[in-house]
Structure 1
């Protein structure tokens, strides 16, 4: 999984780690080089000094031994007993020695020994100053590492602000556009760099999106006008025909069916247009709708689907329920739920129960599988036994309407017998 840390934070950490790593590497390398060079120089100098001192004694026995370094001693095999006890058995070479001085303080020194022709030479080199210098170097290097790390961190913070300032400004302008509800060109406010290219791409995307929204708004307006006009003509013509004195009962029933279908189509169009507008601006409220009344109208409009079926439908209002939404929205939702129940139930009953802050549609159809209940609300998904009619959009529209107004819609199988229960819970 990719890291979700902010780019500025990653930049700061990268600079800090780079500075620390570089400083630490420099410190380690400095210590190694110093130790290597110091050891080579000290060993070479001591050995050279003791060699020249022994050679001088051999060449000039009458002259006292001398050394180019401080604290040099020369003994023979007969006088070696005068040397300190821990020196007497040492062979030619350079040794690290530790003892105490005349004041009883610990002392660390290097001792060079040379044995040649019965002459034994010793040169003592005090390395206390070297150790002090080493401690001082370590202290200085630790301070340098700390200062380099702090400097790298400061540079990282400064660079992150400098580099990411255009990105932050671009994000702030986008937030301002969202609050203002309109978009303005972004590219003129930024330089011709990567951020400017991003702003230009966002401007192009915003222009395309605005044009698409405008086309959608114009289309909705045109559809609303073009569909409402013929439906209004159908409704008015049906009303005039129903007032005819020579109207037969059979013809009157057919006119009522036309009237209900026209009203249902009008409500569906209004609900869809309302859904289209509300998804951009928010739901329309302020209108109180009685759920029981809308359910009664929907049941009456769906009765023609029951013809030829041994099926009964009844409404049970256990308590009055009102919602703050247009009646057309509730009618579309209930029409889909009740219509599906009648469509899938070949025999038995469909019961619509209003109460407890919601409405339930209970049928005795084939039922649904629990794992498919949620999938039925997806676009294009149809239940088993749907036949050849329908496109699988009804429940998807119901879900969108319910989400818009904060209602909960669900489907579940019955546990007492075959069938399904569709419910809407109003918040």
Structure 2
């Protein structure tokens, strides 16, 4: 996962890099311009001086020539042997010469040479001192770059804190609203700027979201109330009819199926209402729900699906397990898992096993692909291997219920034979 940098950090780094880059560019430009101007001035001055000296020698050969800023030497073609050996072969122009100076150290000289009408004139200018100044300037400029870079960093921190203070305040108020459980208008606390515009947009979004949640809550409550009433009538009516002495066994079995379906519908309504409210509710009076008992009731309610199938369903309780959740929630989850196992197993056995802290539903159906195990819990995804209708919502509801109560639901294929294993680990 790619790490996310804070906006303040990015502003500080951007400002510091901009300041450092601008300072470095300025330093480079200053040094470059200084070097170019210096070379041009030295070359022009030396050339003018050597021309002037050469002209004096031509016009007044009996007088010693005069010069101002540099050391100059003049020889003829016959006396050139008196000049330093490294100078004797130099042509007219300005040359860079490195040789020991009066102090015994190596010096860098600019040497101007003019050859004309048998007179050879040399003019020497020591640029070592100038290079020392250039080196000092370089160190000064580098130091200035780092100083300006540090100042840019400090200024970036200060500006980022000042610029982002309203954003941090907005985030703090949003966190406080989340802790308080209610939202208050944000816009009055901020100036009429970009952050204030963002706060106003958040207020409008919060109002729309609150209204939508309130409508959904009222709708869920109304639907739950309106559905529970006819279901209660169906349940009481079937209970009264079952007490009639003249009922046939076939009719009594149908009444039991109606009663079980009514109870399942009531449990499903209650579970969906809890999901819509994201409300985690335990059993009344602090009681716990026996997993094995609920599993047994679910198996009995699913037996009509086994009609005309060579299929056996077995409940194995290796260790009693109790959960702090309503029986209706657990019944909805197990009804989907056990119902799917019975639905997709055409023949063989479905085993419901209750062990330490978990329940597993093991079938001998066509099984599932390992890569499809997690995908089956998504909305609208149906399993393969058997016919039948369905919208692919059952396992998605189971996942949401388990997430609400902190349970871990999963599916995996069996390793040594056909079939699948659905399990819920209670935490």
Establish whether TM, by shorter chain, passes 0.5. Answer: yes
Partner residue in 2 for 1:35: 35
- In the TM superposition, residue 328 of structure 1 has moved relative to its aligned partner by 0.8
CA contact 2:274–2:280 (8 Å) conserved in 1: no
CA contact 1:287–1:326 (8 Å) conserved in 2: no
Partner residue in 1 for 2:353: 353
Partner residue in 1 for 2:162: 162
Give the 3 Å change call, closer, same or farther, for CA 55–359 of structure 1 in structure 2: closer
CA contact 1:298–1:334 (8 Å) conserved in 2: yes
Partner residue in 2 for 1:128: 128
Q: What SS class does the counterpart of residue 63 from structure 2 fall into?
A: coil
Partner residue in 1 for 2:15: 15
CA contact 1:69–1:123 (8 Å) conserved in 2: no
Give the 3 Å change call, closer, same or farther, for CA 92–326 of structure 1 in structure 2: same
Is 354-363 or 381-390 further displaced after alignment?
381-390
1:341 aligns with 2:341: yes
Give the 3 Å change call, closer, same or farther, for CA 115–302 of structure 1 in structure 2: closer
Q: TM-score, normalised by structure 2?
A: 0.89
CA contact 2:186–2:200 (8 Å) conserved in 1: yes
Q: Measure the CA separation in 2 of the matches of 1:88 and 1:411.
A: 97
Partner residue in 2 for 1:405: 405
- Aligned pairs, how many? 425
Q: Measure the CA separation in 2 of the matches of 1:367 and 1:111.
A: 95
Partner residue in 2 for 1:230: 230
Q: Measure the CA separation in 1 of the matches of 2:267 and 2:358.
A: 21
Give the 3 Å change call, closer, same or farther, for CA 83–332 of structure 1 in structure 2: closer
Q: Measure the CA separation in 1 of the matches of 2:192 and 2:377.
A: 48
Q: Measure the CA separation in 1 of the matches of 2:319 and 2:242.
A: 35
Partner residue in 2 for 1:321: 321
- In the TM superposition, residue 388 of structure 1 has moved relative to its aligned partner by 4.6
Q: What SS class does the counterpart of residue 182 from structure 2 fall into?
A: coil
Deviations 1:392-414 (A, max 9, x none): 22222112112222222233344
- In the TM superposition, residue 288 of structure 1 has moved relative to its aligned partner by 0.8
Partner residue in 1 for 2:51: 51
Give the 3 Å change call, closer, same or farther, for CA 343–130 of structure 1 in structure 2: closer
Is 358-367 or 180-189 further displaced after alignment?
358-367
Partner residue in 1 for 2:275: 275
Q: Measure the CA separation in 2 of the matches of 1:92 and 1:390.
A: 101
Q: Measure the CA separation in 1 of the matches of 2:257 and 2:80.
A: 135
Give the 3 Å change call, closer, same or farther, for CA 255–81 of structure 1 in structure 2: closer
- In the TM superposition, residue 184 of structure 1 has moved relative to its aligned partner by 1.4
Is 46-55 or 359-368 further displaced after alignment?
359-368
Q: Measure the CA separation in 1 of the matches of 2:382 and 2:234.
A: 31
Q: Measure the CA separation in 1 of the matches of 2:95 and 2:306.
A: 113
Matches within 5 A, 1:211-230: 211-230=211-230
Q: Measure the CA separation in 1 of the matches of 2:96 and 2:356.
A: 95
- In the TM superposition, residue 224 of structure 1 has moved relative to its aligned partner by 2.0
Matches within 5 A, 1:219-298: 219-277=219-277, 279=278, 281-282=279-280, 284=282, 286-298=286-298
Partner residue in 1 for 2:182: 182
Deviations 1:18-60 (A, max 9, x none): 2222222222222222222222222221222222223223323
1:379 aligns with 2:379: yes
Give the 3 Å change call, closer, same or farther, for CA 381–80 of structure 1 in structure 2: closer
CA contact 1:283–1:404 (8 Å) conserved in 2: no
CA contact 1:65–1:73 (8 Å) conserved in 2: no
Q: Measure the CA separation in 1 of the matches of 2:54 and 2:148.
A: 50
Q: Which runs of 5+ in 1 are unaligned?
A: none
- In the TM superposition, residue 290 of structure 1 has moved relative to its aligned partner by 0.8
Q: Which runs of 5+ in 2 are unaligned?
A: none
Partner residue in 2 for 1:109: 109
Give the 3 Å change call, closer, same or farther, for CA 390–62 of structure 1 in structure 2: closer
